[in-house]
Amino acid sequence: LLGLVTAPSLARAQLGTESVGMNTHVPSDDVLDACVDLGVRWVRVDANWRDIHRGPGDFDFGEMERVARAAQMRGLRVYVTLAYTPDWVPRVSRARSDTYGGNDEPLGSSEWVAFVDAIVRRLRPLGVTHFGLWNEANLDGFWEEAAGLDAWIDKIVLPGAEAVRAACADCRVLGPELANVGESDVALDAILSR
């Protein structure tokens, strides 16, 4: 029993206080409590553009504010991933092999920039300073393959990073959040070269 009690605290001491995180999507209070119990210090949270930005100027930040406050109360740091095109946003016209619109390439960046600006300004006062721009854009299910990574960089990453920095001088833009499958190293090299 002594080994079970001391092993987690020794592991935490060796890793440091900021080095363990968990992808929680949109966590309940019970999940956040479990993160604390496990010694997790960071939670990665999904802030889905398609769920939050319901139309031009129409945002519902309620769930993200709840998560940010609940995490802060527990001493957890929050890394928010922003992603997925809402159905109302105009898209590049092309034949698509799926019916999921969240992975579609938007026609322009203005709606995306409005969302990024609004959510960063809303979450920064709640202690959130770390933002990722899209999830696993190297997978067709998350960013349509036909659009290509250059379109993702041009329409999402570059304007999104600029919007984060304009809204919050001390915020960080993290990523790319790639799936570690297939040719992920080729995608990473291409992205970093841009």
Residue 60 DSSP code: -
What's the mean pLDDT when you consider all of the chain? 92
What is the pLDDT, as a whole number, of residue 97? 87
Residue 106 has pLDDT above 80, yes or no: yes
What is the pLDDT, as a whole number, of residue 74? 98
- Specify whether the CB–CB gap between 39 and 22 falls below 8 A: no
What is the pLDDT, as a whole number, of residue 190? 87
What is the pLDDT, as a whole number, of residue 5? 41
CA torsion 98→101→105→110, rounded to 10°?
170
Residue 8 has pLDDT above 70, yes or no: no
35-75 pLDDT tens trace: 999 999 999 999 999 999 999 999 999 999 999 999 999 99
Look at residues 152, 146, 135 and name the one whose alpha carbon lies nearest to residue 190: 152
Q: Which stretches of the chain are DSSP H helices? A: 2-15, 29-38, 49-52, 62-73, 110-123, 148-152, 158-167, 184-193
Write the single-letter amino acid at 176.
P
Query: What residue has token string 């740091």?
Result: 77
Rounded CA-CA distance 42/60 in Å is: 24
Look at residues 139, 142, 134 and name the one whose alpha carbon lies nearest to residue 176: 134
Residue 143 has pLDDT above 70, yes or no: yes
**Which pLDDT band, with edges at 50, 70 and 90, does 165 fall under?**
very high
- Specify whether the CB–CB gap between 142 and 103 falls below 8 A: yes
Residue 2 has pLDDT above 60, yes or no: no
